[in-house]
A and B are shown apart, each in its own frame.
Chain A
Amino acid sequence: MRPWMLLLGWLLAAPGAAQQILIPMDAYQTDHLKAYGVAYWALTQGVDVDWLLNYRGGAFLLQDFPGLQAELRIRGVAFEVIDDATAARILADVEAEDRNTAVVRLEKAPRIAVYAPPYTQPWDDAVLLALTYAEVPYDQIYDDEVLRGELEQYDWLHLHHEDFTGQFGKFIQYRHMPWYVEQQRQQETTARKYGFRKVSQLKLAVARAIREYVRQGGFLFAMCSGTDTFDIALAAHHTDIVPAEYDGDPIDPDALQKLDYSQTLAFTNFTPVFNPYEYEHSDIDVGPPPPQLRDPALDYFTLHEFSAKWDPVPTMLTQNHVATIKGFIGQTTAFRKSLIKPEVVILAEAPGRDAVKYLYGPFGRGFFAFYAGHDPEDYQHFVGDPPTDLSLHKNSPGYRLILNNILFPAARKQKRKT
């Protein structure tokens, strides 16, 4: 679409509007995370939001309406009141062919589901933390809802440090702790309820349902061990890769030969870790940086740049006010590049290392994005650590990458790279 047509359409869409609100997402923004919440809130009020990709850090532009400015102030989000002419000029600039910027219109607040057990606290999970802080509403669902087919009610599904292999996170050293006992008991009960003898079978059924949800057009965002264990479980659908310490019977001696990588979303040719005491699921995870780089001051990753006009999806997912983001460790810290399927797009990686931090890919009619690491603002999160206070990290670039995802399903269909 030519810029003048967009401009005309935009002016026609807002007849008689007095002023526009520009929410900058560059260094002038006081609270980047809450800004996403305001954009989401505006969508729930029936107001379209223009996401200006690569313009001022991925700014938002929307029509002013009663209560918007008060809400922005209360949430502490910096904004600029501009007139229609200025807004039109900005839009024209952003749509100019010679610039790597683009406008994406967000039209509908996506319905968000977070796959997490009922006993999960918001601070157990970076996405829950981000959504809660940004005041974005979500439903918490778990195995029951997935197996009952309720996924189709949602546009966006998030997985965090779930272990889809049925090894309870490989937290065997905590097996006597009440939370572990309870988690194992509840998962075993659910497995029996659905006629599965083992939790690994239950989790495989859930993973398959989620895979189908994506294939049908859903959007999946996973973090930490929710990424690699998802693919490992799918690949192991014909075999048993769970040691006896977790499910009572030994692994299949031919497990490696029986892995079926055609079922996975992002990874291929990986090897599961069969040692029950090793806190690692497979060689997909490259693990923490080498000791000489295992320092929050030295560990970082960089975002790739994409064509905003021709590759709007990866551009949306990588909107940020910085190009270099500090690293963070998780049960799955970063993905081994050589094990990523060729059709998957790498969004961010650690320079000079075989460590991909963030990737995305299409699957069927849907998309998935995998983001490695546990908490972008807690370099090395341990069990029992206090929750991250996001009011101290209002401008977190790492958390922005999470929140980019929630708005992505709100975007009107875009042109795709041919």
Chain B
Amino acid sequence: MHRCITYLSIAFLFIWAAIAQAQIPDSLLMVRYRTAEQFLRSGQYTQALPLLESLYQERPDVYVFYDRLKQVYENLKRYDDALRLIETRLREDAPNPALLAEKGRLLYLKGDEAAAEAAWEAAIRTAPHQSGTYRVVYQTLLELRRFDEAIQVLERARRTLSNPSIFLLDLAYLYSLNGRYEEAMEAYRQFLLQDPRRLGFVQTRLEPFMDEPVVRKAGIAVFERAVRREPLNFAFRQMLAWLYLRNGDYARALNVYRALDRLQQTQGQLLLQFALQARDAGALEVARTALQDILQQPNTAIHPEARYELGRLYEEQARSGDTTAAQAARKMYRSFLTAFPGHPLVPDVLYRLARLELDVLHHPQTADSLLTVLLNRYGDHETAWQARFDQGRLALQTGDPGAARLAFLRLLDRRPTGPLAEAARYQLALLDFYDGAFEAALAQLDILAEDAASDVANDALTLRLLIQENRGPDSLDTPLRRYAYARLLMAQHQLEAALDTLDALQQDAGMHPIADEVTLLRARLLRQLGRLDEALALLLEFPLRYPSSPLRDQSLYEAARIQEEDLHDRAAALSTYTRLLTEFPGSPLIPEVRSRIRTLRGEDA
């Protein structure tokens, strides 16, 4: 019994001693490890090395000692030592893909590419039926930027595991990193095939690459094929439409949207969104076609919006001189008003139609009745303010300056500030000018010129200068009055009458300072009337007739524009522009003239 107690006591003492022996060095190890860590953090690998080597020697089983020592060896480019650590671990443990992949990495850094590839191959063979094996090898290859090999590993994984859905996004990423965009797109296509709800995710991932034409081209090729193969797949079509839009190919995008609209039965909604997008991007023809498509659908709730937008498109074209488009816009707006009299867009349509009649079709009576309807029915609507302004313009055009003045004054009274008020004030100044009330006009123009940032400031300054420089010689300012009258006739679209007035004034003006202004205005009227040769002759002889006029450069510039744009006489235009450049080197028109010359010479302007 005593012996038994003695043995037990001795055994206890041994165990206690062993535990104590283990615990005390552990705390000491930790102190040394912390010191080594500090060296590591400050990049002092040489100082950290002996500490970590001793730590690893004493406790090779502690992973962190092994890992830090390997890290130090690597940072000191002692790859053989780092590899020795891994080999030791590989001998002690079962074959481990992570360790083998790491071995391959170190071999690669050492420069032994063949051995590195063998290590990666060995890593895969340890567990070829587990996706994690491939992942660990592929990530090592990715870290080393060995994209081709990483792709091969993932493709092998998909074959071996017979799982076509695995690693799709990883592959797509790798392909795009490697510039293999078509294959990247194909991976995304397969991904979308499995989960069409992730379309937005795919588009977000591709977005940064969309500035590259080669990426867009690759995407279009892949998804065009995909749509041909699976025409009922919405995600593919949406992706294709998105790619077309990003590529600026609106005509093809329209075809895809048509199909999507049909397949998803959105009753034109998708087409409308697309049409607005195309319009904003300047693809007007495509936008118009899309809107016309909507109007051909019998039971869609967005007919009013489509009709309104189509009217706006035609109106935009009409404003650049297309008379057919003007008629089409009028027809569209009128049909809107007839078909949807209670729609919230009616005030806007009324206003747009009135502007079209007034400015493009020159039907002031029709415009007047439309504006009246707008003001009577929708007096509080925002467009009504614009309508009040246009009533003034309309009254002027129809020969009732008194009514025009009243309209502008009322507008100013009710809305005294803002761009519309400034426009109204400028119109009042013009009315005074037409009327020969030059002092009153100057008073209005002085107010407008104070705010140089306003839209009408430049016009106001020009008119003020015209009045100031061309008064006299009599107290009634007769020549300027007659000139102002011609301008009034022009505002009322009485071009022939305006020309007659200017012709008469030209004969009487003699040496009056307004003579050059009269000639220039005559030339412009002749151009508007299509009498190009007369206009050109007048402009070309202008500098000789008025050798001290500040408008000489302007006259040559306008002559050159006629030669270039109306007569398409490139050589003559070049000659006139060059003459301007030579004779008036200080003209503010010079930058534009240089640009025109370069364009005509076929150079970059």
Contacts and interface: CB of A to CB of B under 8 A. Distances in A.
A73 B45 contact: no
Contacts of B45: 253
A61 B147 CA distance: 59
Contacts of B492: none
8 contacts: A73-B585, A74-B598, A75-B594, A181-B177, A185-B179, A249-B77, A253-B76, A391-B591
Nearest to A69: B582
A238 to B, nearest CB: 14
Given A178-B208, A249-B109, A74 B178 contact: no
B143 interface: yes
Nearest to A177: B208
Contacts of B46: 253
B75 interface: yes
Nearest to B76: A253
Given A178-B208, A248-B144, A185 B77 contact: no
Interface in A52-97: 69-70, 73-76
Interface string B561-605: 000000000000000001001100100001100100110000000
Which of A69, A75, A185: most chain B CB closer than 10 A?
A185
Interface in A242-271: 248-250, 252-253
Contact of A252 (B77, B109, B578): B77
B282 interface: no
B209 interface: yes
A197 interface: yes
A153 B581 CA distance: 38
A139 interface: no
A75 B211 CA distance: 34
Interface in B493-522: none
Contacts of A73: 578, 581-582, 585
Contacts of A249: 74, 77, 109
A253 B77 contact: yes
A182 interface: yes
Interface string A375-391: 00000000000000001
B145 interface: yes
B413 interface: no
Contacts of B76: 250, 253
Contacts of A248: 109, 143-145
B111 interface: yes
A62 to B, nearest CB: 19
B380 interface: no
B469 interface: no
Contacts of B77: 240, 249-250, 252-253
Nearest to B597: A74
A274 B44 CA distance: 13
B92 interface: no
Interface of A: 69-70, 73-76, 176-178, 181-182, 184-185, 188, 197, 240, 248-250, 252-253, 274, 391
A182 B594 contact: no
B108 to A, nearest CB: 8
B280 interface: no
A58 B343 CA distance: 72
Nearest to B71: A250
B7 to A, nearest CB: 56
Contacts of A197: 111
B212 interface: yes
A76 B590 contact: yes
Interface string B117-152: 000000000000000000000000001110000000
B594 A74 contact: yes
Contacts of B143: 248
Contacts of A76: 590-591, 594
A69 B585 CA distance: 12
Interface residues of B, number: 29
Contacts of A182: 179, 212
A248 B145 CA distance: 8
Nearest to A189: B179
Contacts of A178: 208-209, 211-212
A277 to B, nearest CB: 13
A197 B45 CA distance: 25
A230 to B, nearest CB: 25
Contacts of A188: 145
A151 to B, nearest CB: 28
Nearest to A197: B111
Contacts of A74: 578, 581, 594, 597-598
Contact of B578 (A70, A181, A240): A70
A188 B177 CA distance: 12
Nearest to B601: A74
Nearest to A70: B578
Contacts of A70: 578, 581-582
B212 to A, nearest CB: 6
A344 B76 CA distance: 36
Contacts of A240: 77
Nearest to B109: A249
B182 to A, nearest CB: 16
A185 B173 CA distance: 13
Contacts of B145: 184, 188, 248
Nearest to B578: A70
Given A181-B177, A248-B145, 16 more contacts: A70-B581, A73-B582, A74-B581, A74-B597, A76-B591, A177-B208, A178-B208, A185-B177, A185-B178, A240-B77, A248-B109, A248-B144, A250-B76, A253-B46, A253-B75, A274-B43
A163 B256 CA distance: 45
A250 B43 CA distance: 11
A399 to B, nearest CB: 19
Interface in B143-188: 143-145, 176-179
A240 to B, nearest CB: 8
B462 to A, nearest CB: 25
Contacts of A250: 74-77
Contacts of B178: 185
A415 to B, nearest CB: 39
Nearest to A78: B585
B180 to A, nearest CB: 10
A91 B176 CA distance: 63
Interface in B12-68: 43, 45-46
A70 B580 CA distance: 11
Contacts of B581: 70, 73-74
Contacts of B74: 249-250
B82 to A, nearest CB: 11
A417 B309 CA distance: 76
Contacts of B597: 74
- The 4 nearest A-B residue pairs measured at CB: A73-B581, A250-B75, A249-B109, A178-B208
Contacts of B212: 178, 182
B338 to A, nearest CB: 49
Interface in B337-387: none
A200 B119 CA distance: 27
A74 B176 CA distance: 47
Nearest to A75: B594
A215 B590 CA distance: 46
B144 to A, nearest CB: 5
A253 B176 CA distance: 35
A182 B178 CA distance: 8
Nearest to A181: B177
A185 B178 CA distance: 7
A391 B179 CA distance: 37
